[in-house]
A and B are shown apart, each in its own frame.
Chain A
Amino acid sequence: MNLSQQAKPVGERVVQRLRQIPISTSILAPLVALILLFVVSSLASEYFLNTRNLTNVMRQVSYTGIIAIGMTFVIIAGGIDLSVGSMVALVGVIVLYVVNAVSDPIQAVILAMLAAVVAGALFGLFNGLLVTRGRIAAFVVTLASMSIFRSLALYFTNAAEVSTRNPFFSDIGGGFFMGLPIPVLVFFGLAIVTHVLLFHTPYGRHVCAVGANPQVARYSGIRVERIVLSTFVIAGVCVGLSAIMLTSRLNSVSPSDAGYFYELDAIAAVVIGGTALSGGRGTVWGTVIGALILGIINNMLNLTGVSPYLQGLVKGGVILLAVLLQYKRTP
Chain B
Amino acid sequence: MKISRVIKTTVLAASIAGSVSLANADSYHIGVTVPSADHGWTAGLMWWAQQATDELSEKYPDVSFTVLSANSGTAQVSNVEDLMIRNLDALVILPYNPATLQSVISEAYAEGIYTVVVDRELETPAQDVFLAGNNPGLGEQAARFIAEELNGEGNILVLEGPPIPINSQRVDAFNRVMEEHPGINILASQNTDWNPQRALSVTEDLLGSNPQVDAIWAGDDDVLVAALQAIEENQRDDIQLVVGGGGSQAVIEMIRDDHPMVKGTVTYPPNMIASAIALAVHGVKGERLGDMYHGVPSRVILAADLITADNVEEFYEPDAAY
In the complex formed, the residue of A with least CB distance to B97 is: A254
Query: A256 contacts which chain B residues (CB < 8 A)?
Result: 97, 162-164
A258 to B11, CA, bound (A): 35
Q: How far is the CA of A50 from the CA of B81 in the complex (A)?
A: 12
Does the CB pair B97–A161 fall under 8 Å? yes
Interfacial residues of chain A within 244-261, with CB under 8 A of chain B in the complex? 246, 249-254, 256-261
A28 vs B102: C-alpha distance in the bound complex, in angstroms?
40
Are A50's CB and B103's CB within 8 A?
Answer: no
Question: Which of B36, B74, B79, B102 contacts A257 (CB under 8 A)?
Answer: B74
Chain A, 274-325, CB within 8 A of any chain B CB: 298-306, 308-311, 314, 317-318, 321-322, 324-325
Residues of B within 8 A of A154 (CB): 163
Closest to B67 in A: A308
Q: Which of B9, B46, B66, B100 is packed against the most chain A CB atoms within 10 Å?
A: B100
CB within 8 Å of A: which B136-192 residues: 162-165
Judge whether A299 and B82 touch: CB under 8 Å: yes
Which segment of A40-48, A109-117, A140-148 sits at the interface? A40-48
* Interface-facing stretch out of A52-60, A200-208, A209-217: A52-60
Partner of A45, one of B5, B15, B20, B71: B20
Task: Give Cα distance in the complex from A161 to B11, angstroms.
Answer: 43
CA distance A162 to B99 in the complex (A): 8
| Of B17, B37, B46, B78, the contact of A44 (CB 8 Å cutoff) | B17
| Interface mask (A30-69 → B, CB under 8 Å = 1, otherwise 0) | 0001001100110111110010110010001001000000
Q: Nearest Cβ distance between residue B62 and chain A, in whole angstroms?
A: 18
Does A47 lie within 8 Å of B85, measured CB to CB? Answer: yes
Most chain-A Cβ atoms within 10 A of its Cβ — which of B17, B66, B83, B103? B103
Q: How far, in angstroms, from A252 to B101 measured CA to CA in the complex?
A: 9
Interface check A163, CB cutoff 8 A: yes
Residues of A within 8 A of B78 (CB): 56, 60, 298-299, 302
**Within the assembled complex, what's the spacing in Å between the Cα atoms of A276 and B13?**
26
A86 lies within 8 A of chain B by Cβ: no
| B41 lies within 8 A of chain A by Cβ | no
Contact, CB under 8 Å: A303 / B86:
yes
How many residues on chain A are close to B (CB under 8 Å)? 58
CB-contact partner of A250 in B17, B46, B102, B162, under 8 A: B102
Q: Decide: A304 and B99 in contact? CB cutoff 8 A.
A: no
A253 to B291 Cα, complex, angstroms: 43
Question: B8 contacts A321, CB within 8 Å?
Answer: yes
**With A and B bound together, what is the CA distance between A259 and B15 in angstroms?**
29
- What residue in chain A is nearest B12 (Cβ atoms)? A321
Number of chain B residues whose Cβ lies closer than 8 Å to a Cβ of chain A: 46
Asked if A308 contacts B68 (CB within 8 A), the reply is yes
Task: Contact check, B72 vs A44: say whether CB atoms are below 8 A apart.
Answer: no
Q: Which residue of A lies closest to B19 (CB)?
A: A306
CB distance from B200 to the nearest CB of A (A): 21
Shortest distance from the beta carbon of A316 to any chain B beta carbon, whole Å = 11
- Please provide the chain B residues from 1 to 42 with a CB less than 8 Å away from any CB of chain A in the complex: 5, 8-9, 11-13, 15-17, 19-21, 23, 36-37
Question: Counting CB contacts under 8 A, is A160 at the interface?
Answer: yes
Q: Kindly state whether residue B123 has any CB partner on chain A within 8 Å.
A: yes
Contact assessment for B16 and A252 in the assembled complex, using a CB-CB cutoff below 8 Å? no
On whether the beta carbons of A302 and B68 are closer than 8 Å, the reply is: yes
B268 to chain A, nearest CB (A): 20
C-alpha gap A33/B98 in the complex (Å): 36
Chain A residues with Cβ below 8 Å from B123 are 163
Name A161's contact: one of B21, B83, B99 (CB within 8 Å): B99
Pull 18 A–B residue pairs with CB atoms less than 8 Å apart, ordered by A: A36-B9, A45-B23, A56-B81, A56-B82, A170-B103, A250-B77, A253-B100, A260-B72, A261-B72, A298-B75, A302-B83, A303-B85, A304-B20, A304-B21, A308-B46, A318-B16, A321-B11, A325-B9
Task: Please list the residues of chain A having a beta carbon within 8 angstroms of any beta carbon in chain B.
Answer: 33, 36-37, 40-41, 43-47, 50, 52-53, 56, 60, 63, 154, 158-163, 170, 174, 246, 249-254, 256-261, 298-306, 308-311, 314, 317-318, 321-322, 324-325
